[in-house]
Structure 1
């Protein structure tokens, strides 16, 4: 009887881990990334389908989100200087924010990576239903090779390893 109870508990626990990992996702690793077009705060057009041949990081954030405010400075300090070149593109998309709000935010925080506004969540809605920060790494062929939510140094390190590997392929 104890073995049966332990087996049931193990199954419930592992299924809850899987559900949490995928909760709120509208995309799956290995699928073609949903296309979108957005203009950065600097006025540059970012059309995902035009970036084939490049490794891409799409980041979703909000200025009121505590984990986002921990993650963005680390993207600026660790990831952006390491990878910014002609073979890598990054866009951080402010979910629910206007261009005016994000220009003030970018200036105050001194972020140099591209930022864009998604005030109505139109782009976010192609990727997820809830939770931020969210990160999607897209390979040179346009497929999602990583998707994550929340922030931890361990996940940031994993993202940088995945980007490094994808850029060599």
Structure 2
């Protein structure tokens, strides 16, 4: 019981450390902010319409170099893999981009996933103040289970692991000194934490 309480306190603190200073307005464990948008067919949709599904949200801009590095991987490793899964939804928003700009960009790069304009940052501003690319994964209960900022192969691998975990594509689990952690979010966040913080955790939960 003592170990469980200490581990919970550590994870709560780790979440705050991770979120601080990033311009992020939401945290893992919170419900996704409510918003509406028009899909690529012109239909008005609410994010709450997708409750019960796993939703990945990506914010990017056509001029953003790391975004342009990430999107081909999104196409190959996420969209091509999960697009036919009825329990998966992917929403890619072009921050401060028009529909014409996004349609041209999509055609030039041969992307097949839907890209939605967020011309005035109305949706982006619910999640963050600055910095793209950004990814969020929303669980079937409507709560945020993962978030990332920027693009590195390591961060993208964490995103893939989270998605794989939600669909049981693998049995990825993490063990810290005999304490098994199954949360996809934790699998993603732990590699990002300062080494000293991990040492404190390992010594605390023994």
TM-score (norm 1): 0.84
Question: How far off its partner does 1:155 sit?
Answer: 1.4
Task: Summarize deviations over 1:124-159 as a string: whole Å, max 9, x none.
Answer: 000000000000000000000001100112111111
Residues 1:20 and 1:58: Cα distance change in structure 2 (over 3 Å): closer
Question: How far off its partner does 1:52 sit?
Answer: 0.9
Equivalent pair of 1:41/1:99 in contact (CA under 8 Å): no
Give the alignment of 1:64-83 within 5 angstroms: 64-83=63-82
Distance 1:20 1:51 in 2: 25
Question: How far off its partner does 1:83 sit?
Answer: 1.5
Aligned residues: 153
Question: How far off its partner does 1:21 sit?
Answer: 5.6
Question: How far off its partner does 1:94 sit?
Answer: 0.2
In structure 1, the partner of 2:61 is 62
In structure 2, the partner of 1:26 is 25
Superposition RMSD in Å: 2.0
User: Any gaps of 5 or more consecutive residues in structure 1?
Assistant: 1-17
In structure 1, the partner of 2:146 is 146
In structure 1, the partner of 2:34 is 35
Aligned to 1:77, what secondary structure does the other structure show?
helix
Task: Summarize deviations over 1:21-75 as a string: whole Å, max 9, x none.
Answer: 6421000011001011212334354421010110000000001100000001110
In structure 2, the partner of 1:122 is 122
Distance 1:107 1:44 in 2: 21
Distance 1:42 1:157 in 2: 31
Determine if the alignment matches structure 1 residue 87 to structure 2 residue 79. Answer: no
In structure 2, the partner of 1:99 is 99
Query: After the TM superposition, which of the residue ranges 154-163 and 83-92 deviates more from structure 2?
Result: 154-163
Between 1 and 2, higher relative CO (CA 8 Å, sep ≥ 6) is seen in 1
Residues 1:46 and 1:160: Cα distance change in structure 2 (over 3 Å): farther
In structure 2, the partner of 1:52 is 51
Question: How far off its partner does 1:79 sit?
Answer: 1.1
In structure 2, the partner of 1:9 is none
TM-score (norm 2): 0.69
User: Any gaps of 5 or more consecutive residues in structure 2?
Assistant: 1-16, 169-182, 184-206
Aligned to 2:121, what secondary structure does the other structure show?
coil
Aligned to 2:167, what secondary structure does the other structure show?
helix
